[in-house]
Amino acid sequence: MGQYQRHVFVCTGGKTCTGQDSAATFALLKDRVRDAGLAPHVRVNHSGCLGQCGHGPMVVVYPEDAWYDGVTVEKAERIFTEHLRDGVPVEALLYVAPPGENKLPKV
Ligand code: FES
């Protein structure tokens, strides 16, 4: 048994997600978890590049191994409510891509 029931990583260290306002996504998730009293159970951490550049902001939640792309603050609200609070991954927002690195070509 680990220290947390869920661990959330928000890419705030890579080059493209930062330009897609991943800081706002991180702040929203961190605030909602704290305000709901879930901080002892759900840890929200910054992460560096998750290898999916251009699809961001990228968020991944363990132990479900649920990956979410394009996580605007609106989507983050839903991920918080349905997944982090209620325990059900948001199927409609899941990132679907081949395993491994899926960076979009630079324009
Ligand atoms: S910069 Fe976020 S996945 Fe690469």
pLDDT at position 2, please? 84
Q: What pTM, to 2 d.p., does this model score?
A: 0.95
- The Cα–Cα gap between 65 and 54 comes to 20
What are the φ/ψ torsions at residue 83 (nearest 5 degrees)? -95, -60
Q: State the pLDDT at residue 46.
A: 98
Residue 30 CA to ligand 1 center (angstroms) comes to 19
* Ligand 1 midpoint to CA 72 (Å): 14
**Cβ-based neighbours of 49, under 8 Å, separated by 6 or more:** 11, 13, 14, 15, 17
Per DSSP, what are the bridge partners of residue 67? 60
CATH architecture of 6-93: 3-Layer(aba) Sandwich (3.40)
Give the pLDDT confidence of 3-49 residue by residue, as tens digits: 999 999 999 998 999 999 999 999 999 999 999 999 999 999 999 99
Determine the distance separating the centroid of ligand 1 and the alpha carbon of 17, expressed in angstroms: 5
Q: What percent of the chain has pLDDT over 90?
A: 93
Domain boundaries in the chain?
Answer: 6-93
